[in-house]
Amino acid sequence: MQEESIYSLIPQPIEQAPRPPRHVSKHNPVVQPTFSTFGLKGTSKPGYENVAGDGGNAGAAGYGQHTYKKSHATFGTVNNAKAPTDIQQKGTGIGGGSVVLPDEVKPIVRSTGQRKPPVPGPKVCHDEYKSTHPAREEKNFVTANAVENILSEPKKGAEPVNWTEKPHFGKVPPYLNKIKKEISDEYEYIRTMQQSQEGDHPGLRPIGEGERAELID
């Protein structure tokens, strides 16, 4: 068994396993799956790709001079990528944007009939509030609190208790005498019950003369 040592607490370096060489497949990475129909829409000679691993190139056996796969059937034409900084601006697209209205738009004619009273403006509301509410008193609370604390009388704390003036000072507390009396009463009750049980023998009882005569006969 290995003995404990403080040196075992030191983390030991972990040996990194050497990475194996990268696997390179021997098959063509750009060839289509067997009997693939990807990218064949719209051809004049519909069919499938990669039969027996030939890749469907023009001139292969069974294809003649016809090429099934279009050069830009999935990702668009060649060299059609845009620079990341060339961001399409708002309103420059060809659809899906906001509707462009003509320059001259007829104004909307609303009914002149008034259904609700007009909403009062801010000045009217302010004047009405001042007329119904008294002016607020401007008070310096810092000064008011300082003056109030200076003029107020200091609070009196509770007077200390003089335990020597208590009526039961130096005597046995009354609650101890009460507890002792309750304990003595319980002991007396138990003693009485035990004495009564000792006088009565279990299974014995006095019998009358008639029952005694029947037993003798």
* pLDDT at residue 156, as a whole number: 84
The pTM (predicted TM-score) of the whole model is 0.23
Length of the chain: 217
Residue 36's beta-bridge partner residues?
A: 49
- What whole-number distance in Å separates Cα of residue 143 and Cα of residue 149? 10
* pLDDT at residue 114, as a whole number: 65
| Per-block mean pLDDT, blocks of 10 residues, the chain (217 long) | 76 89 86 71 62 53 53 66 83 64 68 72 75 77 89 86 87 92 94 79 76 84
- What whole-number distance in Å separates Cα of residue 191 and Cα of residue 185? 10
* pLDDT at residue 21, as a whole number: 93
* pLDDT at residue 177, as a whole number: 92
* pLDDT at residue 8, as a whole number: 81
